[in-house]
Structure 1
Amino acid sequence: MGPFVREPEKEPFLRRMRLSDLGAAMEVDRRSLPKPWSERIWRDELDSPFGLYLVLEQDGRVIGQIGVRSVLDELHITTIAVLPEHRRRGHARALIGAALAAYPDARFVHLEVRPTNRTARALYASLGFRETGRRPRYYGDEDALLMTLDLSEGPFGG
């Protein structure tokens, strides 16, 4: 290729998060969330036998992440974030789909979202999540909306 021809960007791919990804995952959080997790919380989550953490990598760089906890037939999306410059390309949808695919026997999926995060709320609603409750002062400065997906009804289920 000549000096003025740009090589096409490699497609992003999903994989399990490794401890070596911790710094990159924390950077995604820092650039995406008003109150990112501390290193201690991340380490505790990665050590948990009930969690699955995935990263979306492109060109050797982590551009997104998702964490899910599993208890019986219920999942809880604990964290999801995509770097601002990589948003609106279906990455969050792909992260959610991959995390849910890892638990084929799951029946319900829960998550919390800030009421002011209209973009995230619209994404979750488009995937079949419904508002099912409110957690007062969940974020300290703001309540959280609890959203639930019944996989027997939603686009990821039957």
Structure 2
Amino acid sequence: MVQHVFPGRFTAAPDRPDVTVFLIGMRANRWWQLGKVWWTASKMPPMLMHLGAHPEAGMLGVHSWFGRTTILLTYWESPEHLQRFAADRDAPHLQPWRDFMRTLQGTGSVGVWHETYQVPTADMEAVYVDMPAFGLAAATSHVPVGPGMKTARQRMGR
């Protein structure tokens, strides 16, 4: 998929008091155990498709990187939205998580991890130069850097 590159400097302009940043991923500790690695990796696409089809779930945006360690960077409306999705019996997360914990946890084959941050938007800053809409700007609002937003200090203090 070709993404449009926006020439110049842009920033994110969230229209909310805070944003929940959720990093999640997995690591193929024993990459030669492909069945276990593939089983774990195959659980994320249905979750992302579900979240894309259900914006009311609260995920604002996602970016991913794949390799031995996989990373997904996601933005959410609130920690409550994220926790509600994780515990929803009708969403495609809870059962795969329970299956992982029952069958793979402790085997050392595949590691999983996540980190959650609730960040006041007044305390965040972003700049994107000659980039497609990305990160927080793609998840919220992508705007040109204008007067009073030229430096990181100015953008942080808005």
TM over 0.5: no
Structure 1 length-normalised TM: 0.24
Q: Which has the higher contact order (CA 8 A, sep 6+)?
A: 2
Which structure's residues are more often helix, by fraction? 2
Larger Cα Rg: Structure 1 or Structure 2? 2
Structure 2 length-normalised TM: 0.24
